Amino acid sequence: MPRTLFRTRIKFCGLTRAGDVRLAGELGVDAVGFVFAHGSPRRVHAREARALREALAPLVDAVAVFRDNTADEVREVVREVKPSLLQFHGDEDDAFCSRFDLPYVKAVAMGAGARVGGAELAAAHPGASAFLFDSHGGGHDGGSGRRFDWSALPTDLERPFLLSGGLAPDNIHDAVAAIQPWGVDVSSGIESSPGRKDGDLMRAFVSEVRRADCRPDHAPAAAHGALR
Ligand SMILES: O=C(O)c1ccccc1N[C@@H]1O[C@H](COP(=O)(O)O)[C@@H](O)[C@H]1O
């Protein structure tokens, strides 16, 4: 039976325990995120994240997640944790996101029925290596476990993107099959409580993504989240 070898990237976000970081690596996850956003129940300090990073397997990216943190806070994290990618979830502009000499992902607020154009996003953040569509906005925070209306995703985005917001083992197969994003990002959907990941849910999430990747119609050329 022919299989299309297209692999959706997976990021697990909001890890706070070394055991969860180790398991993410063993499951073949591409990246783990450490949250430095003030007010998040998953927030870790730079020193804690540095210790967590030591539990990370080789070839797995560490992503530092911010929401309107100061430049000094971002610099401290970059120095201590040495992330390979930054993720900005607030109102940061391109000049701010670009000043740390690391690739960055810009989160786009899709809450409250927001609609955005791909060209508009690329113009606002020309330095972004990818965009991440999440359900925050309209009074809701990131990491809330809420979904947004996927039909609002821009169709003209010529940049890889990550799908996020309310993803979980019971909906991720259909999400990947329908949207074919470059990658997916999950936090609440693999947790037993904020910051504490559940091994069974982590395993089930990865295996459901891979099940979707193995669909015969999952072709990279058709994927609108693919690199061009
Ligand atoms: O996870 C958080 O607490 C968080 C706080 C502030 C900004 C972003 C945050 N996480 C991001 O939220 C989504 C995942 O949300 P969900 O719980 O799976 O619905 C993801 O992009 C995280 O990076």
pLDDT tens, 136-192? 776 677 767 789 899 999 999 989 999 999 999 999 999 999 999 999 999 999 999
pLDDT of 127 strictly over 90: yes
DSSP β-ladder status, 9-13 and 183-186: parallel
Residue type, 53: R
Residue 13 designated active-site: yes
Q: Could you tell me the pLDDT band of residue 219, with boundaries at 50, 70 and 90?
A: low
Task: Determine the pLDDT at residue 5.
Answer: 55
Look at residue 160 and give its three-state secondary structure.
Answer: coil
User: Is the pLDDT assigned to residue 43 strictly greater than 90?
Assistant: yes
Supply the residue whose CA is at minimum distance from atom 12 of ligand 1: 143
pLDDT bucket at 220, cuts 50 / 70 / 90: low
CATH superfamily of 9-222: Aldolase class I (3.20.20.70)
The residue annotated as part of the active site, out of 20, 97, 134, 185, is 134
Beta bridge partners of 34: 64
**Cβ 112 vs Cβ 131: under 8 Å:** no
What is the model's pLDDT at position 221?
Answer: 45
CA neighbor of 188 nearest in space, from 223, 154, 164, 155: 164
Cα dihedral sign, 214-143-92-25? negative
Going from N- to C-terminal start, the domains of the chain cover 9-222
Find the 217 Cα to ligand 1 centroid distance in Å.
Answer: 30
Cα(121)–Cα(14) distance, rounded to whole angstroms? 25
Above 90 in pLDDT, residue 25?
yes
Indicate if the pLDDT at residue 20 is higher than 80. yes
> Is pLDDT above 50 for 215?
yes
pTM above 0.90, yes or no: yes
Q: For residue range 48-67, what is the model confidence (pLDDT) as tens digits?
A: 999 999 999 999 999 999 99
Q: Decide whether any atom of ligand 1 lies within 6 Å of the 186 Cβ.
A: yes
Ligand 1 centroid – CA 214 distance (Å): 27
Q: Counting beta carbons within 10 angstroms of the beta carbon of residue 182, is it exposed (0 to 12), middle (13 to 18) or buried (19 or more)?
A: buried
Calculate the average pLDDT of the chain: 91
| Alpha carbon distance 94, 118 (integer Å) | 15
